[in-house]
Amino acid sequence: MYGTTQLQPKKPLVVAAWSVAFPGFGHLLLNKYLRGYALLLWEFFINQRIQLNTAMVYSFNGQFQAARDILDPKLMGLYIPVYLFAIWDSYRTTVDLNKLYVLADRENAPTRSFTIGALEINYLDKRKPWLAAMWSAAIPSIGQLYMHRIVFAASVLLYTIFIVENSRLLLSIHYLILGDVQTSSAVLDVQWVLYFPSFYFFTIYDAYINAVENNNLYDDDLRNYLIRKYQPAGKVIRPGKKVV
């Protein structure tokens, strides 16, 4: 009722690459929501405590001593093991799920293409991948809402508001449009704004790839329905031939 969870083959290296960009993203692509959200929350918590994003900005500007001073060494050792685990586990899980997909595809079990409840109606139909990506590019979470992933869309919207509010990104863009570049740079919180690029492009990719996978599921379900209902056992339907 609140979304469609499906099993589709994925490239392990692509999933692992998204875990490199931000721990938890790879698991969210695999519909492993509890593990993905846990890693997301951990990344926000530990990154804020050790001020890793700010240290990265100082390093990019060549201020290496400032980067060393801003880092909190008490918790720095906790970051790397979880970060590497997120990459490894997302790769391993993708390989396992791809094997399960092969078995599930051979089983060819029927899928539920329509669900009605007190709050929502969910049904399987064709969606346009470019449209899902475009809506996510406009505002993260709208592409997921277009794909009827209500709970995930709500969580993405909350994360978006949280990041944009704390980074003061929109305020910075406002001053930039007015031509006040100095104020635009001054109001930005670099610790928070560095979360935005990976988060923004992930929502676009996730909406696009989910639309493609949704369409594949629709095609499989439609093909099975036509075979089951309109092709009698032992007969092959040919174009222009009426089947009684």
Tell me the pLDDT tens digit for each residue of 57-114: 999 888 989 988 898 888 888 999 999 999 999 999 999 999 999 998 888 777 787 8
In angstroms, the first-to-last Cα distance of the chain is: 38
- CA-closest candidate to residue 133, choices 142, 143, 125: 143
Amino acid at 238: R
Taking residues 122-135, report their average pLDDT: 91
User: pLDDT at position 88, please?
Assistant: 97
Tell me the pLDDT tens digit for each residue of 5-41: 888 899 999 999 999 999 999 999 999 999 999 999 9
Amino acid at 104: A
Cβ proximity of 71 and 49 under 8 Å: no
Cβ proximity of 143 and 132 under 8 Å: yes
Q: Does the reported pTM lie above 0.85?
A: yes
- CA-closest candidate to residue 137, choices 162, 155, 160, 154: 160
